[in-house]
Structure 1
């Protein structure tokens, strides 16, 4: 990933927080058959390894886990993003030498991947992943709520995934390369947007101006 110094994020704690907030990632592997990618919810075990370890599962019918991986796998976590029109820049009124761009947050985690189908390990992964996303709910659903025979049958239909993270790259592009006046214009413009992500990016841009 091309990451100019102004946009680079190196703080592991910040990167982990961005990964947790993204909730869904694109899991990518290079194989002799070509690139393969699957959108997956993964959870991060921060206490396992220098940069943590990612866990999740794929459908057993998914060809991706069967194709030998060439090198490392990559999980791409996208954060909030927004289109930025040059009309918001003070520089447009001054000299007009401006172009559109896109603000976004992204984390790329890479590492060797292991696929497994041991029922006990699969149950642990499914349980931890379920608990993570059910926790905020008033009436949280648990794996143990379903009949045991049904759960066992469902586990036979999936394959587990474990990826110790050996490389972690983050990019936080929030108009840091623009003047304070341009950033203020971007934040104000995005606050008028219709997408929820526009409003989130507006505050992130404003934070850059305040730091």
Structure 2
């Protein structure tokens, strides 16, 4: 990922928060057959290894897990994003030398990916994934709510994955390269939007 110095994000806590907030990631592997990608939810376990470990699962019918990767795999996470119109810049009135852009947050995690079919490990992954996404519900559903035999049958249709993170690249492009006046205009413009995604980006624009 191309990261100009102004947009480089080295805040480990913030990077992990972005990864956890992304409800869906994309696993990408390079193979002898070309690039392969699968959108899927992933769990970050940051207590393992220097950068943490990602866990998830794919369908057993998905050819990606059977196709040997060449080099590292990559997991893509995206955070809030928004279109930025030049009309919000003070510079537009001063010189007119402005163009549209996009503000966004992105994290790329790299590492060797391992696929596994062990039923106990699979059950642990799907149980943790379920608890993560059901936890905020008033009456959360649990894997144990389903009949054990049914769960066992479902597990036979998936393959688990483990990706120890070897390195991270993170980018937070939030108008840091613009003047304070231009940033204020972007923040005000996005805050006035009715789209909650724009409002989320507005709150991230530095003063």
TM-score, length-normalised on structure 2? Answer: 0.98
The alignment yields a C-alpha RMSD, in angstroms, of 0.7
Instruction: Give the C-alpha shift of residue 106 in structure 1.
Output: 0.5
Aligned positions, number: 207
Q: How does 1:180-191 map to 2 (within 5 A)?
A: 180-191=180-191
Q: How does 1:193-208 map to 2 (within 5 A)?
A: 193-205=193-205, 208=206
Instruction: Give the C-alpha shift of residue 53 in structure 1.
Output: 0.1
Q: Contact 1:104/1:172 (CA < 8 Å) preserved in 2?
A: yes
Deviations 1:3-42 (A, max 9, x none): 0111101122211111001121111110111111111100
Who is 1:62 aligned against? 62
Q: Contact 1:12/1:51 (CA < 8 Å) preserved in 2?
A: no
Who is 1:7 aligned against? 7
Matched residue of 2:70: which SS? coil
Who is 2:102 aligned against? 102
Instruction: Give the C-alpha shift of residue 143 in structure 1.
Output: 0.4
**Distance (whole Å) between structure 2 residues aligned to residue 165 and residue 76 of structure 1:** 12
Instruction: Give the C-alpha shift of residue 2 in structure 1.
Output: 0.6
Q: Contact 1:76/1:108 (CA < 8 Å) preserved in 2?
A: yes
**Which aligned runs of 4 or more in structure 1 are off by greater than 4 angstroms?**
none
Instruction: Give the C-alpha shift of residue 184 in structure 1.
Output: 0.7
Matched residue of 1:204: which SS? coil
TM-score, length-normalised on structure 1? Answer: 0.97
Who is 2:159 aligned against? 159
Unaligned 5+ segments in structure 2 are none
